[in-house]
Structure 1
Amino acid sequence: MKGKAYQTALKNSLLLFILVMSCNAIIAQKKNKKDKTDKTEIIQDSTANKKGKKYDVLIKQGTVKKGLFNIIQVKSDLYFEINDSLFQREFLLVNKISNVPMPVNDAGLNKGMNYENKIITFHKDLIAKKVWVKSSVPKISSPIGDAITASVNNNFSESIIEVFDIETKNNDSTSVVIKVNKVFDGKQKSFNDVLSNIGFGGSVKPELSYIETVKSFPKNIIIKSQLTTSVAEGGPALSVTIGVTSNIILLDKTPMKARFSDNRIGYFSEKHWYFSDAQHAMNEKELITRWRLEPKQEDIEKYQKGELVEPKKPIVYYIDPATPKQWRSYIIAGVLDWQTAFEKAGFKNAVIAKEPAADDIDFDIDDVRYSVITYVASQKANAMGPAVVDPRSGEIIESDIIWWHNVMTSLQSWMRIQTGAIDPKARNNHFSDEHMGEAIRFVSSHEVGHTFGLKHNMGASFAYDVESLRSKDFTAKMGGTAPSIMDYARYNYIAQPEDHVEAITPKIGEYDKYAIEWGYRWYANEKEEHTALNGLITKHQNDPIYFYGEQQDGDSTIDPRSQSEDLGNDAMKAGEYGLKNLKVVVNNILAWTYDKDESYYETGKLYIGAIGQWQLYNRHVLNNLGGIYLNTTVHGDNKASYTAVPASIQKRATSYLLKNSITLPEWLFFNPILDKTNPLKDSPVGPYEYTPYTLARDLQYNTLYNMFNDERLLRMIENELYQRNKSKEKLFTVTQLFQTVNNHIFAPTLQNKSLSILERMTQKNYVDVLIVSINKLFEKTESKKLIQIENNLNIPEICTYIDDSKMVRNINQSAMKRVSEVTSEKRGELNKILKLVKIKQNTGNQETKNHYFDLIQRIERALNSSL
Structure 2
Amino acid sequence: MKKTLLLLVFTALLASCGTVSKKKKAPAKVTEAKEKKKTDKNGIQPYNKVITKEAVSDSGLFVVHKIKEKFFYEIPTNLYKKDMLWVSRIAQIPTGLGGGYVNAGSKTNEQVVHWERFQDKLLLKVKSYTNIADSTKAISKSVSVNNYEPTLFAFDIKAVNNDSTAVVIDVTKFFTSDVKAISGLGTRLRKQYKVKKLDASRSFINSVKSFPLNIEVKQDVTYDASEPPSNSATQTISLQMNQSMILLPEEPMQPRLFDPRVGFFTVSQYDFGSDELKADQKTYIRRWRLEPKDPAAYARGELVEPIKPIVYYLDPGTPENLQKYIKQGIEDWQKPFESAGFKNAIIAKDAPTPEEDPEFSPEDIRYSVVRYVASTTRNAVGPSVSDPRSGEIIESDIIWYHNHLRSYRNRYMLETGAANPSARTLNTPDEEIGEMMRMVIAHEVGHALGFPHNMAASYAYDVEDYRSGTFTQKNGIAASLMDYARYNYIAQPGDENIRFIRQMGPYDHYATNWGYRVIPGANSAEAEKTTLTSWIEAKGDDPIYKFGRQSSRFDPQSQTEGIGNNPRKASDYGIANLKYVASNLPNWTSNRTNNYNDLEELYGELLGVYSRYAGHVVTNIGGVFENIKTPKQGGAIYTHVDKDEQQQSMQWLHNNVFETPEWLLDPTILQNIDHAGYFERMRRLQSRHLNNLLSFDRIGRLIDAETTGDQYYSALDMLQELRSGLWSEASRGGNVDIYRRNLQRSYLDRMEYLMTDKGPTARRGRVGFESTLVFNVSTSDVRPLVRGELVALQRQLRTAKNIGINKVSRYHYEDAIARIERILNPEK
For this structure pair, what is the TM-score category when the shorter chain's length is used for normalisation?
0.7 to 0.9
Among candidates 641, 646, 650, match of residue 645 of structure 1: 641
CA RMSD in angstroms comes to 3.3
AA of the residue aligned to 1:323: T
The normalised TM-score by structure 2 is: 0.86
Greater CA drift, 328-337 or 244-253 = 244-253
* Mapping for residues 567-582 of structure 1, pairs under 5 Å: 567-582=563-578
Are positions 1:711 and 2:697 aligned together? yes
Is 1:136 aligned with 2:124?
Answer: no
Instruction: Find the counterpart in structure 2 of residue 658 from structure 1.
Output: 654
- What is the SS of the residue equivalent to 1:301? helix
Sort the Cα spacing of 1:712 and 1:63 in 2 relative to 1 into closer, same or farther, 3 A: closer
- Given the alignment of the two structures, is residue 584 of structure 1 paired with residue 574 of structure 2, yes or no? no
CA distance in 1, matches of 2:827, 2:44: 82
Q: Distance in 1 between matches of 2:250 and 2:498?
A: 52
Q: What are the equivalent positions in structure 2 for 1:423-822 lying under 5 Å apart?
A: 423-478=420-475, 480-524=476-520, 525=522, 526=524, 528-552=527-551, 557-595=553-591, 598-678=594-674, 691-723=677-709, 726=710, 730-758=711-739, 760-761=741-742, 763-776=744-757, 805-806=765-766, 809-810=769-770, 813-822=773-782
Deviation at 1:568, TM superposition (A): 0.5
In structure 2, stretches of 5+ residues that fail to align are 1-39
Measured after TM superposition, the shift of residue 834 of structure 1 is 2.6
Q: Cα distance, 1:195 vs. partner?
A: 5.5
Counterparts of 2:701 and 2:188 in 1: how far apart (Å)?
39
Partner AA of 2:508 in structure 1: D
2: CA distance, partners of 1:94 / 1:122: 16
Q: SS of 2:612's equivalent? A: helix
The structure 1 residue matched to 2:797, chosen from 820, 837, 840, is 837
The Cα shift of 1:720 comes to 2.5
Measured after TM superposition, the shift of residue 857 of structure 1 is: 3.0
Measured at CA, do residues 744 and 224 of structure 1 come closer, stay the same or move farther in structure 2, by a change above 3 Å? closer
* Structure-2 change in CA distance of 1:545 and 1:191 (3 Å): closer
Change (3 A) 1:241 1:846: closer
For residues 272 and 361 of structure 1, what CA distance do their matches in structure 2 show?
41
| Cα displacement (A) at 1:249 | 2.4
**Aligned residue in 2 for 1:146:** 137
Equivalent in the alignment of 1:284:
281
Residues matched between the structures, number: 772
CA displacement at 1:162 relative to structure 2? 3.0
Residue 161 of structure 1 aligns to a residue in which SS?
A: strand
Asked if structure 1 preserves the Cα contact closer than 8 Å seen for 2:91 and 2:105, the reply is yes
Q: For residue 774 of structure 1, report the CA deviation from its aligned partner.
A: 2.6
Greater alpha carbon shift after TM alignment, 751-760 vs 596-605: 751-760
Q: Give, in angstroms, the shift of residue 393 of structure 1.
A: 1.2
Distance in 2 of aligned mates of 1:446 and 1:428: 25
* Cα deviation, residue 67, structure 1: 3.4
1:422 aligns with 2:419: yes
Deviation readout 1:469-518 (Å, 9 max, x if unpaired): 1111111111x211111111121110011112431111111111111111
Is residue 272 of structure 1 aligned with residue 269 of structure 2? yes
Matched-pair contact (CA < 8 Å) for 1:552–1:563: no
Mean Cα deviation higher: 70-79 or 541-550: 70-79
Cα shift at 1:610: 2.0
Cross-structure match for 1:221: 215
- Would the aligned equivalents of 1:183 and 1:190 in 2 still touch at CA under 8 Å? no
Q: Aligned pair in 2 of structure 1 residues 261, 355: CA closer, same or farther (>3 Å)? A: same
Matches within 5 A, 1:35-50: none
Task: Give the CA deviation at 1:190.
Answer: 8.5
1:189 to 165, 176, 179: 179
Q: How far has the Cα of 1:446 moved from its partner?
A: 1.2
Label 1:105 to 1:440 Cα distance change in 2 as closer, same or farther (>3 A): farther
Amino acid at match of 2:704: E
Q: CA deviation at 1:181?
A: 3.4
Q: Percent identity at matched positions?
A: 36
Residue in 1 that maps onto 2:20? none
Is the partner of 2:825 in helix, strand or coil?
A: helix
Aligned partner of 2:168 in structure 1 is 178
Q: Partners of 2:154 and 2:633 in 1: how far apart?
A: 55
Give the secondary-structure state (helix, strand or coil) at the position aligned to 2:631.
Answer: coil
- Tell me what 1:155 maps to: 146
Quote how far apart the aligned CAs of 1:62 are. Answer: 4.2
Shift of 1:701: 3.0
Match of 2:313 in 1: 318
Q: Deviations over 1:320-355 (max 9, x none)?
A: 222222222212211111111111111111111222
**Would you say the 8 A contact 2:682–2:739 is kept in 1?**
no
Q: Does 2:49 align with 1:70?
A: no
> For the structure 1 residues 753 and 537, does the alpha-carbon distance in structure 2 shift closer, same or farther, using more than 3 Å as the test?
same
Deviations 1:159-208, CA, capped at 9 Å, x for gaps: 333334444444443x0331333356515739954555995656555555
Residue of structure 2 equivalent to 1:384: 381
Output the CA distance in 2 between the equivalents of 1:746 and 1:198.
41
Paired with 2:246 and 2:535, the residues of 1 have a C-alpha distance of: 36
Tell me if the contact between 2:262 and 2:547 (Cα under 8 Å) persists in the aligned partners. yes
Q: Does the 8 Å CA contact 1:754/1:843 hold for their aligned counterparts?
A: no
Q: Check whether the contact 1:59–1:72 (CA below 8 A) recurs between aligned residues.
A: no
For residue 257 of structure 1, report the CA deviation from its aligned partner: 1.2
Superposition pairs of residues 1-12 of structure 1, within 5 angstroms: none
- State the SS of the aligned residue for 2:802: coil
Deviations 1:130-175 (A, max 9, x none): 43332211233212332211111211233333334444444443x0
Partner of residue 32, structure 2: none
Cα distance, 1:294 vs. partner? 1.1
Q: 1:171 to 1:714 in 2, by over 3 A?
A: closer
Could you say which residue in structure 1 is the equivalent of 2:36?
none
Cα contact 1:541–1:547 (8 A) shared by 2: no
SS in 1 for 2:757: helix
Shift of residue 284 of structure 1? 0.9
1:121 lines up with 2:114 in the alignment? yes
SS of equivalent residue, structure 2 residue 215:
strand
Residue 623 of structure 1 and its aligned partner are, at CA, apart by 0.9
Stretches of structure 1 that go unaligned for 5 or more consecutive residues are 1-46, 679-688, 780-802
Q: Per the alignment, in what secondary structure is the counterpart of residue 357 of structure 1?
A: coil
* 1:118 positional shift: 2.7
TM-score (norm 1): 0.82
- Partner SS state of residue 305, structure 2: coil
What is aligned with 1:405?
A: 402
Q: Confirm whether residue 91 of structure 1 aligns to residue 52 of structure 2.
A: no
> 1:107-142 CA deviation, whole Å, 9 max, x = no partner?
7766544434332222345xx344333221123321
Provide the secondary structure at the position in 1 that maps to 2:697. helix
- 1:778–1:818 contact (8 Å) kept in structure 2: no
> How far apart, in 2, do the equivalents of 1:160 and 1:112 lie?
27
Q: Secondary structure at the match of 1:499?
A: coil
Output the amino acid matched with 2:678: P
8 A Cα contact 2:453 2:483, kept in partner: yes
SS at match of 2:494: helix
Amino acid aligned to 1:247? S
Q: Structure 1 stretch 415-424 or stretch 751-760: which is displaced more?
A: 751-760
Q: Cα deviation per residue 1:559-609 (whole Å; 9 max; x = unaligned)?
A: 111111111011111111111111110110110112556431211222222
- Conserved 8 A contact 2:122-2:154: yes
Provide the C-alpha distance between the structure 2 equivalents of 1:583 and 1:622, rounded to a whole number of angstroms. Answer: 20
Residue 329 of structure 2 corresponds to residue 334 of structure 1? yes
Is 1:365–1:372's contact at 8 Å kept on the other side of the alignment?
A: yes
Counterpart CA distance in 2 for 1:237 and 1:634 is 58
